[in-house]
Chains A and B, each alone.
Chain A
Amino acid sequence: MIRPRRSLFVKYFTTLFVAVVVPLLLGSATEAWFAFRDNRYDLDELLRVEARSAADRIQAFTDGIRDQLGWVVQFPWTQGEDDRRRIDGLRLLQQVPAIVSLSMVDPTGTERVFVSRVSMNRTGAGADMSEDPAVIGARANRVWYGPVHYRRDSEPYMRIAVAGNRAAAGIVVADINLKLIWDIIASIKIGDTGHALVVDDSGRLIAHPDISLVLRSGVGAGDFNRLKSEVSAADGAAVTTTGEDGKPVVALSVPAPNVGWTVIAQQPALEAFESIRAALWRSLILIGLGIVFALVLAYWRACRMWGPIRQLEAGVERIGMGQLDHRITIQSRDELEQLAVRFNQMAEELAVSQHKSERINRLKQFLAPQVAELVEHSDQRLLDGHRREVVAIFGDLRGFTAFSARAEPDVIIAVLREYYEAIGAVTERHSATLIRFAGDGVMVLVNAPVACDDPAERGVRLAIDMQAAVQSLADSWNARGWAIGFGVGIAMGPATVGTLGWHGRLDYTAIGSVVNLASRLCGLAEDTQILVDPVVTGHVKGSIGLASIGERTIKGYDHALEVFAVARTGAPVRRTSPELDLVS
């Protein structure tokens, strides 16, 4: 048996598996992608809002200081008002905690009043500050924001200078302690551990929730500068990068434009992508479950499909091997069950058919081949009883009775077998119907049940052949000392032909005077003789030489009948045996 190269089971299993897993994978991947995108968007938004808020508050911080400073440069300088200005300065210190000290510079660029929280105040004409970048900057732009510097190598400070509306109002320069921005930055919490920080344009840290990082006087500015440039390069979008502590973070920057600082809002990547990770894990678990489910389902389905098919295949194989009683049981309540039912029906029909065929084969041994053929091909009409013109041929052995009385049974059987073989062969050759053997006698019909052309001549020629065949046998028998001869009688006429018998045993035969006549003529015939009735003679006299042997009285006939004998061709074989039993 040939195994298929690609099993249906594998194909079916694969198809089912793929049919379940592929949509699941696609679905999960899509879901994960959208979850990732939404999360990323939310994260961007969160960081942007926080950074923007911090930048706005830093802006408000510096703007507030700028506005407050504006108060002390509203009026032009006049002589002898240093003390009033000093009070203004002290009040400003009281008002704005971030201002550590401030210098008031008159229109000539000379410092006139200096007030401070830590150093001693000064009034009166002091240092010339006209070359101070703060004074120059404020004169040019009204407001000047100085660079960040670290006082005592630790605290971040910045100077802000504001000029009055008119040059006569002078300029105020304030020293700002940027540690106070810490409150703004420390209050920003992004998620659980995210935070905001502020760096200046060279990456020096200005504000960070861990103030101790700020107080290191710019140490680590390289790290912060890298962070700043990486995050700023993203132009307002969140980027994943390395934070100041070396761990991956998601960060976004917003500039605080008036002071040139950058606010960076960042959240550790681990925390920021927590929900994305959770979504991915959910998807993976779903995919895993789906794959297991698909495996089980596909295996089960494939088995349900494959099992019956294997059963059918095995069934076909067994039927092919002749086990027609094999039946298939499939209860799948579907087309396969239907197929099994059909298969069983087919097997049943095959069995019936084979049974019939066997019976016919058996029958053929008993029936004349033509009759058997008719039975087999169900042309039953020809077998039904009807009258028709037939040629009946009878033959029997002469001297057989005496022979059988003396010979051993197995010798008798051997002789009869040779005899039957010869008769059967001749009959078959002439497509005649061998009706029966009866001991040493034989009956053959021509033109029944199957009609033929010129039955009379065919009958005569058959008889001649038959006589010749048996005579050749008879020669050998005679050579062994058995005096056996053979005579034949032929008659033609209407007879009733058909099957006859009871349901246990049916024979095809012919009934009518023609049969009797043929039998009588056979009885009359001598060894080697073929006696022919006048009807046959009438049909064949043109083609076959026949000689009348005169009129004979035939039993059952009222008057004598002229009988003809087939003219012998060649020298007649006259056997010397004295005892030729001419009556079978």
Chain B
Amino acid sequence: MAWPATAFAQDSAKAYRIFWVSIQSQPDPFLDGFREGLRARGYIEGKNLALELHFGNPHALREVVAELRRGNIDLAVSSGPATRALTEVKDIPVLFALSGDPVALGVVESLGQPGGNFTGSTFLSLELAGKRVELLKEVVPSLRRLAVFSNSNHPGEQSEWRATREAATKLGIEPVYVPFAGPNELDAGLVAVGEAHADALLVFPDVLTMVHRNKIAQFATAHRLPSMFGWSEYCEAGGLMSYGANQRATYFWLATYADRILRGEKPANLPVMQPTKFELVVNIRTAEQLGIDLDKSSILFRANRVIE
């Protein structure tokens, strides 16, 4: 979205306080896109904007919520699972970027009219879950057993698993659910994947798996598992394929809503944005390492980007 950058933010003497709330500790891959978007809108940290970063597990975030209620905060921005922790916040606008369905999470009444103090963006991972299985099956026609690696702390994760299971069953694939709860269980989760005897690996897009995308991609290659992810960053890190919206563009765009809310618009009237474009990214090097001939399928001509 190309809203014209205005001088509004510079003119204002007020310095806005924005809370950035995330489960994951630094480095936060989504924060960069959001910061970039804010800069494009004329906000400069330290001058007219104070971006206060709060990371931690759901328990630690409860204190952040208390602080949000006390402090003079203009806006809270949450990504992924942290949104769940903020559902209690009612009097401060909250922007979210969710893989799952915000209606199901209960933070908005509908996508078109959020109706409350929450709005933001959904990546529609739920709908795409089946699509990812289908694409993986096309590249690996011999796929019978699929390991599904998921951060169980992620809101809406169960729905995503259900959708994935249904799609897999429809395609005659046996899904093996490998959940892990938070960063501490990630390594153990990977070990479990290795022991699942799967033909391929499907990783749910999530801030945690995003941060550890290199480790997961290397693990998959090492175990000769064709891997499917939600965002292109995974693919750039060595994953075989990814299909989903461009999260960086989404966070960049999220800053537009931040700007409009700081100018006084109500989140209740700002519809939850859904991605229009889904990119299919394929990593040919990984394919070669895994010995997969991509030319046998229609995947290459359908790919938006091919990493060679």
- Please report A residues at the B interface, Cβ cutoff 8 Å: 87, 90-91, 93-94, 97, 116-121, 150, 152-155, 177, 179-180, 186, 211-212, 215-217, 219
B131 and A154: CB pair below 8 A?
Answer: no
B131 and A119: CB pair below 8 A?
Answer: yes
Q: What are 7 A-B contacts with C-beta separation under 8 Å?
A: A90-B298, A93-B302, A118-B124, A120-B133, A153-B111, A179-B276, A216-B113
B111 and A152: CB pair below 8 A?
Answer: yes
B113 and A219: CB pair below 8 A?
Answer: yes
List 11 additional contacts besides A120-B131, A120-B134, A152-B110; criterion CB under 8 Å: A93-B302, A117-B278, A118-B128, A119-B131, A120-B167, A121-B134, A155-B111, A155-B274, A177-B276, A186-B2, A215-B271
B97 interface hit (Cβ, 8 Å): no
A215 with B273, Cβ < 8 A, contacts A119-B131, A154-B110 known: yes
Q: With a CB–CB cut-off of 8 A, which chain B residues contact A97?
A: 276-277
Shortest Cβ distance from B136 into chain A, in angstroms?
A: 12
B293 interface hit (Cβ, 8 Å): no
Nearest 4 Cβ contacts at the A-B interface: A215-B271, A217-B112, A154-B111, A154-B112
Shortest Cβ distance from B76 into chain A, in angstroms?
A: 20
A90 and B302: CB pair below 8 A?
Answer: yes
Shortest Cβ distance from A559 into chain B, in angstroms?
A: 146
Q: Nearest A residue to B132 by beta-carbon distance?
A: A120
What's the Cα separation between A501 and B269 when bound, in Å?
Answer: 129
Q: With a CB–CB cut-off of 8 A, which chain B residues contact A153?
A: 110-113
Q: With a CB–CB cut-off of 8 A, which chain B residues contact A155?
A: 111, 274
What's the Cα separation between A510 and B305 when bound, in Å?
Answer: 154
B127 interface hit (Cβ, 8 Å): yes
What's the Cα separation between A179 and B277 when bound, in Å?
Answer: 11
Q: With a CB–CB cut-off of 8 A, which chain B residues contact A117?
A: 131, 278
What's the Cα separation between A215 and B133 when bound, in Å?
Answer: 29
B216 interface hit (Cβ, 8 Å): no
What's the Cα separation between A452 and B2 when bound, in Å?
Answer: 129
B113 and A217: CB pair below 8 A?
Answer: yes
Q: With a CB–CB cut-off of 8 A, which chain B residues contact A215?
A: 111-112, 271-273
A119 with B112, Cβ < 8 A, contacts A154-B271, A180-B276 known: no
Q: Nearest B residue to A214 by beta-carbon distance?
A: B271
B235-278 Cβ-contact flags toward A at 8 Å (1 or 0): 00000000000000000000000000000000001111110111
Residue from B112, B124, B170, B273 with most neighbouring chain A CB atoms (10 Å)? B112
A216 and B130: CB pair below 8 A?
Answer: no
Q: Nearest A residue to B304 by beta-carbon distance?
A: A94
- Please report B residues at the A interface, Cβ cutoff 8 Å: 1-2, 110-113, 124, 127-128, 130-131, 133-134, 167, 170-171, 269-274, 276-278, 298, 301-302
A118 and B271: CB pair below 8 A?
Answer: no
Q: Nearest B residue to A219 by beta-carbon distance?
A: B113
A150 with B278, Cβ < 8 A, contacts A120-B134, A211-B1, A212-B269 known: no
Q: Which of A90, A120, A154, A179 contacts B130 (CB 8 A)?
A: A120
Q: With a CB–CB cut-off of 8 A, which chain A residues contact B273?
A: 215
B271 and A212: CB pair below 8 A?
Answer: yes
What's the Cα separation between A105 and B205 when bound, in Å?
Answer: 35
A87 and B170: CB pair below 8 A?
Answer: no
What's the Cα separation between A186 and B1 when bound, in Å?
Answer: 9
What's the Cα separation between A97 and B272 when bound, in Å?
Answer: 21
Q: With a CB–CB cut-off of 8 A, which chain A residues contact B301?
A: 90-91, 94
Q: With a CB–CB cut-off of 8 A, which chain B residues contact A211?
A: 1
Q: With a CB–CB cut-off of 8 A, which chain A residues contact B1?
A: 211
Q: Which of B2, B128, B170, B274 contacts A154 (CB 8 A)?
A: B274
A154 with B272, Cβ < 8 A, contacts A120-B170, A186-B2 known: yes
What's the Cα separation between A152 and B275 when bound, in Å?
Answer: 13
Shortest Cβ distance from B299 into chain A, in angstroms?
A: 10
Q: With a CB–CB cut-off of 8 A, which chain B residues contact A186?
A: 2
A150 and B276: CB pair below 8 A?
Answer: no
A119 with B277, Cβ < 8 A, contacts A153-B112, A154-B271 known: no
B111 and A94: CB pair below 8 A?
Answer: no
A216 and B269: CB pair below 8 A?
Answer: yes
A118 with B278, Cβ < 8 A, contacts A90-B302, A94-B302, A215-B273 known: yes
A219 with B278, Cβ < 8 A, contacts A118-B128, A154-B271 known: no
What's the Cα separation between A212 and B253 when bound, in Å?
Answer: 12
B270 and A87: CB pair below 8 A?
Answer: no
What's the Cα separation between A118 and B163 when bound, in Å?
Answer: 12
Q: Nearest B residue to A100 by beta-carbon distance?
A: B276
Shortest Cβ distance from A394 into chain B, in angstroms?
A: 128
What's the Cα separation between A116 and B151 when bound, in Å?
Answer: 27
Q: Nearest B residue to A189 by beta-carbon distance?
A: B4
Q: With a CB–CB cut-off of 8 A, which chain B residues contact A177?
A: 276
Q: With a CB–CB cut-off of 8 A, which chain A residues contact B110?
A: 152-154, 217
Q: With a CB–CB cut-off of 8 A, which chain B residues contact A116?
A: 131
B274 and A152: CB pair below 8 A?
Answer: yes
A119 with B130, Cβ < 8 A, contacts A154-B110, A212-B271 known: yes
Residue from B2, B171, B270, B276 with most neighbouring chain A CB atoms (10 Å)? B276
B131 and A216: CB pair below 8 A?
Answer: no
Q: Which of A119, A150, A154 contacts B127 (CB 8 A)?
A: A119
Q: With a CB–CB cut-off of 8 A, which chain B residues contact A219?
A: 112-113
Residue from A87, A90, A117, A211 with most neighbouring chain B CB atoms (10 Å)? A117
Residue from A154, A180, A211, A217 with most neighbouring chain B CB atoms (10 Å)? A154
What's the Cα separation between A217 and B272 when bound, in Å?
Answer: 11
Shortest Cβ distance from B239 into chain A, in angstroms?
A: 20
Shortest Cβ distance from B264 into chain A, in angstroms?
A: 14
Shortest Cβ distance from A104 into chain B, in angstroms?
A: 16
Q: With a CB–CB cut-off of 8 A, which chain A residues contact B270?
A: 212
Shortest Cβ distance from B94 into chain A, in angstroms?
A: 17
Residue from A91, A97, A118, A211 with most neighbouring chain B CB atoms (10 Å)? A118
Q: Which of B131, B170, B302 contacts A118 (CB 8 A)?
A: B131
Q: With a CB–CB cut-off of 8 A, which chain A residues contact B167?
A: 120
A87 with B298, Cβ < 8 A, contacts A118-B124, A120-B134, A219-B112 known: yes
Shortest Cβ distance from A541 into chain B, in angstroms?
A: 139
Q: With a CB–CB cut-off of 8 A, which chain B residues contact A91?
A: 301
What's the Cα separation between A441 and B215 when bound, in Å?
Answer: 170
B113 and A118: CB pair below 8 A?
Answer: no
What's the Cα separation between A116 and B167 when bound, in Å?
Answer: 14
Q: With a CB–CB cut-off of 8 A, which chain A residues contact B274?
A: 152, 154-155
Shortest Cβ distance from B280 into chain A, in angstroms?
A: 9
Q: With a CB–CB cut-off of 8 A, which chain A residues contact B113?
A: 153, 216-217, 219
Q: With a CB–CB cut-off of 8 A, which chain B residues contact A94?
A: 301-302
What's the Cα separation between A121 and B127 when bound, in Å?
Answer: 13
Shortest Cβ distance from B21 into chain A, in angstroms?
A: 23
Shortest Cβ distance from B192 into chain A, in angstroms?
A: 27
Q: Nearest B residue to A186 by beta-carbon distance?
A: B2
Shortest Cβ distance from A191 into chain B, in angstroms?
A: 14
